[in-house]
Amino acid sequence: MDITRRRLLILLPAAAIAWKFVQAGTPESSPNYILAEHWWGMLIDIPKCIGCGSCVRACAEENDVPDGYYRTWIERYHVADWKIERPEVESPNGGKQGFPPNEIGDGKNFFVPKLCNHCVDSPCTQVCPVGATFVTPDGVVLVDKSYCLGCRYCVQACPYGCRFINPKTNTAEKCTLCYHRITKGLTTACCEVCPTGARQLADLKNPKDPIHDFLKTHTVQVLKPHMATGAKVFYNGMDGSVR
């Protein structure tokens, strides 16, 4: 076929449109992202959390989380007086639609957002029989769903209840710290939508990250420190009743 000027004018826009489609199916590259320069974690400021559930909804939408399963959720604690060993906790639908008005009177109430702690010595990574769960060089615990057997050993090994089996893929699933976003310089979906800034993505290797000043000046804890998992989700203002 001879390429005439007329034909070329018709073909070029068509080729451009076709190329757009090709690009749409290709994962975005992150040429400027250097794995070794980051070490991700998160800061949760409990006094700031209002239990609105925006983070749970945003996470579910961003990551296509099936109903009834949670990559992140919110718990509401009620602690009566000195009984910190027996708090009353609830998390209706993971706090996705927020919480009904609190009808329990006397005592203190607060919200605790939960997610994968992206542990340095994560028990889930340790037990995976094929290494489908792994820690990335920038400190995020991920699951390769094309490799996971679905044996559920990791679900049993997580002390925080952060994992589940996705009924669509039959593989283990959990918070990825929105890895597809943070490697593009964005924050996680849950941090993005939090109206009070109760969740802050933290790059522990970046000296300019405000997390460092915060950690130096506040009393922070991690969940279940006795598990010695090297959890990297830090909680400010966490009551001793939280587990």
Question: Which residues of the chain form contacts with other proteins (CB under 8 A)?
Answer: 68-70, 73, 75, 87-91, 93-94, 114, 123, 125-131, 147-153, 155-165, 169-171, 227, 243
CB of residue 53 to other proteins, shortest distance in Å = 12
29 secondary structure, DSSP code:
P
β-pairing, 72-79 vs 108-115, is antiparallel
CB of residue 204 to other proteins, shortest distance in Å = 24
CB of residue 92 to other proteins, shortest distance in Å = 9
> Of all helices (H) and strands (E), which one includes residue 211?
helix 211-217
CB of residue 143 to other proteins, shortest distance in Å = 12
185 secondary structure, DSSP code:
T
CB of residue 25 to other proteins, shortest distance in Å = 25
CB nearer other proteins, residue 40 or residue 73: 73
| Residue burial 118-155, b: 16+ Cβ < 10 Å; e: rest | bbbebbbbeebeeebbbbbebbbbbbeeeebeeeeebb
CB nearer other proteins, residue 134 or residue 214: 134
CB nearer other proteins, residue 162 or residue 211: 162
CA–CA gap between residue 129 and residue 149 (Å, rounded): 9
Q: Where are the beta strands (DSSP E) in the chain?
A: 40-45, 72-79, 88-90, 108-115, 133-135, 141-143, 164-166, 171-173, 199-203, 220-221, 233-236
CB nearer other proteins, residue 153 or residue 179: 153
